[in-house]
């Protein structure tokens, strides 16, 4: 502790199985402000850390519906209201011919919502984050697995939490500075 504020305590593991086992123990011990870091997605960690299912799919559905309405609305406005003209003997509102553009706009807006919604909910872009202060953390994108308990967790107590983390059989335990 070099006089800087403590962000949390982090433990390093070698395998995803160890990480999931440790995460489960951390949750059972009653910690809530926790996070895990891994070089690839691990499905078991969601349940172990108690991560709730994201609302992202609903946002994407909304985006898709908006795209569909926008597509149909645009074609209705241009071909029925603003500039009605008979082409090829079809009615002003020729729905079958209007399907492809509306369909493409549905997909376009849904895809935009999926990508930017995911980044927004994840709080990205975030160029600075305290976890990067741990030099070993560079390996989180290569082959190591990390578990973090934040200092703002109501159960957090430096001595106790650190001792608890060491009891989880990690490779190493680090203090993460703010």
Q: Which residues bind other proteins (CB under 8 A)?
A: 15-17, 20, 35-46, 49, 51, 54, 56-57, 60, 74-75, 78-79, 82-83, 87-88, 90, 94, 97-98, 100-101, 103-105, 107-108, 110-112, 114-115, 117-119, 121-122, 124-129, 131-132, 137-143
Closer to other proteins by CB, 3 or 88: give it.
88
Rounded to a whole number of angstroms, the minimum distance from the CB of residue 43 to other proteins is 8
Closer to other proteins by CB, 38 or 161: give it.
38
Closer to other proteins by CB, 122 or 157: give it.
122
Closer to other proteins by CB, 107 or 157: give it.
107
Closer to other proteins by CB, 120 or 158: give it.
120
Rounded to a whole number of angstroms, the minimum distance from the CB of residue 2 to other proteins is 23
- In the beta sheet, which residues pair with residue 147? 11, 36
Closer to other proteins by CB, 99 or 160: give it.
99
Rounded to a whole number of angstroms, the minimum distance from the CB of residue 34 to other proteins is 9
Rounded to a whole number of angstroms, the minimum distance from the CB of residue 3 to other proteins is 25
Output phi, psi for 29, to 5 deg.
-75, -5
Rounded to a whole number of angstroms, the minimum distance from the CB of residue 23 to other proteins is 8
Cα dist from 2 to 35, 131, 132, 175, whole Å: 24, 16, 17, 11
Rounded to a whole number of angstroms, the minimum distance from the CB of residue 159 to other proteins is 26
Pairing of strands 34-37, 145-150: antiparallel
């Amino acid at each position: 502790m070099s006089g800087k504020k403590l962000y949390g305590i982090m433990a390093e593991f070698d395998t995803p199985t160890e990480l999931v086992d440790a995460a489960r123990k951390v949750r059972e011990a009653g910690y809530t402000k926790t996070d895990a870091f891994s070089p690839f997605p691990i499905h078991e960690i969601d349940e172990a850390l108690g991560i709730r299912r994201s609302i992202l799919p609903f946002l994407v559905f909304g985006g898709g519906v908006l795209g569909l309405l926008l597509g149909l609305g645009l074609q209705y406005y241009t071909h029925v209201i603003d500039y009605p003209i008979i082409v090829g003997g079809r009615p002003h509102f020729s729905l079958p011919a209007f399907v492809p553009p509306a369909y493409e706009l549905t997909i376009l807006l849904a895809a935009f919502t999926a990508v930017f919604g995911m980044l927004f909910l994840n709080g990205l872009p975030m160029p600075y984050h305290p976890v990067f202060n741990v030099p070993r953390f560079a390996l989180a994108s290569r082959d190591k697995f990390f578990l973090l308990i934040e200092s703002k967790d109501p159960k957090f107590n430096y001595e106790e939490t650190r001792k608890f983390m060491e009891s989880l059989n990690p490779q190493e335990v680090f203090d993460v500075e703010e």
